[in-house]
Structure formats: C-alpha cells, structure tokens
Amino acid sequence: MSLLVFGSTGQLAAALRASAPDALFLNREAADLTDPDTCAAAIHAAQTSAVINAAAYTAVDRAEEEEALATAINAAAPGAMARACAEASIPFLHVSTDYVFDGSGQRPWRPEDPISPLNAYGRSKAAGEAAVRAAGGPHAILRTSWVFSATGRNFVTAMLELAQKRDQLNVVEDQIGGPTPACAIAEALLKMVEAMIAGQGGGTYHFAGVPFVSWAGFAREIFACSGQNVAVSDIPTSAYPTTAQRPLNSRLDCTSLEADFDIRPPDWRAKLAEIVKELA
C-alpha cells in the first residue's frame, strides 16, 4: 500500500509519520493548502493507493477574524483533494471535529446528528465535510476531539507549562468531551485505509477517547500523572470568555466506527501517562 499524507509537522501528521514512516508526507512547501489546485495536482502526481488529510487550520479563536483563510484551508483544499481522489478511484480520509456541533444536551453526538457549528472554525470544518461528500468518491470523514500528544501545542503541554509557574489554576468544568491521543487517531486512520482499499466501510464516523471528562477533570489527571501539586478550581465557561464560542457537550458516539472497522475508543488515561513521562 502506498499512502499520501497532507501535513508534516502537526500532532496528527507526526503520529502518522511514527506509525507509517514509508508514507509520503507533504508539507506546506510541497502542497499549499490555500491553493486547492496544487493539492489536487500533488495527488495526481503521486499515483498513490490512498490519501489522508492530516492538515488543517486549527487556530479556533483567530479564525473569527480569518474565516476566509480557515475556509480555504479546511474546506476548499479538502474538497479539491477529495475530487482528485474520486477521479483516481482511491480512498480519501479526512479528519474533522466535534466543533461542527452546537454542544447542546448531554447525549453523545452521533455521526448522523444535525450539525450547527458555533464558531468560524466549526463552520470551516463543516464546509470541508460537505465538500468531501460532494466529490462523490470513496471517502471517510473522521470527527475527533480534544487531541493531545507530546508534539506541538495542546491542552496537556499547556497545563504542564503553567504548572512550572503556578500552583493554582482555574479550569472550565462545564465543557465535557473525550480527550483523544493523536497516536490513537493515527492508528485508527491507518486501519481504516487498509479496509477502504479493500472496499470496506466509508462515510462519517466519530473517534474520541473515553471516559468523558471536563477540562478541569482532565487537568487534574495531567497533574496527577506528572506528580505536580497544582490545585484546580472548577469554573463555568462564562467565567473564562474566549473570542470563539466553544460547545459545552463534545461527547462523541463512536459505535459506528467500531461496527464498520472494529476500532474501539481509546482510554486516554493510559496514553496520557506515557506522554507526560515523555515530556518530563
């Protein structure tokens, strides 16, 4: 199997590189995500068996002022990639987000639930999903949430950095979701690729860690793993205003992914301990 991956240095791309070192990874110089035609051309030139899009605009707050740029990267580029894959009759796997939902209720979101993003980033990712589906080729859209790893900037690295400076933190407790290790997403995508090349599966799926937890609960687990004595005080979202509105309910129902690909949600606590040790 030959595999082409858009993305090179982000959390997910780094995890894919560790699990699939023989894949061809395209950085920004090789494929400009603001120029969809270059993305399509890269796919045609690669003559690959499958494509994974692990690149995205992820600056959630900045997207409120750069929605056109976020949409170009998160919607126009994946759409062009999906059309190129459809023309070549090869699977295209695209990573999306819990932010396409409005965060209402407490029930885990199912893939078929109506979407209603609250912010510009979510709208750009929703548009990307629609563009991938419209291409009409074999595809899978994998929505995930609260991604963390030892690479790049994420909630885990941010908490560990703050712990070096402070012994007390206020952390939001009314946003609930499933922290998801980037390495687990990479493993899931690679298993899906193999199945889809064989003609199995396709559509929209969810993949997130278990058990569900609040940001405050996640922070406590991070400090427990690192052995740092940091007191976490629970606060509501209203006490921590951000430029972009966040969904309160980011729980994702992953049963269809397990049914189609035999991929189960990962227990994020085990991987967190490994990552904290690596960062230490």
Q: Which residues are identified as catalytic? A: 121
54-68 burial code (b ≥16 CB/10 A, e <16): bbbbbebebbbebbe
CA–CA separation, 187 and 124 (whole Å): 25
**Taking Cα atoms as reference points, which of 155, 163, 158, 135 lies closest to residue 250?**
155
What are phi and psi for residue 189, nearest 5 degrees? -60, -40
Q: How many other CB atoms sit within 10 Å of the CB of residue 245?
A: 17
CA–CA separation, 236 and 193 (whole Å): 40
Q: Tokens for 174, please give them.
A: 């009314």
> Cα dist. 234→99, 118, 221, 276 in Å?
22, 23, 14, 22
Across the strands, what pairs with 63? none
Which DSSP helix (H) or strand (E) runs through 268?
helix 268-279
**Taking Cα atoms as reference points, which of 153, 152, 22, 32 lies closest to residue 6?**
32
Q: Strand (E) positions, 2-154? A: 3-6, 24-26, 50-53, 92-97, 139-144, 147-148
CA–CA separation, 188 and 113 (whole Å): 22
Across the strands, what pairs with 143? 96, 206
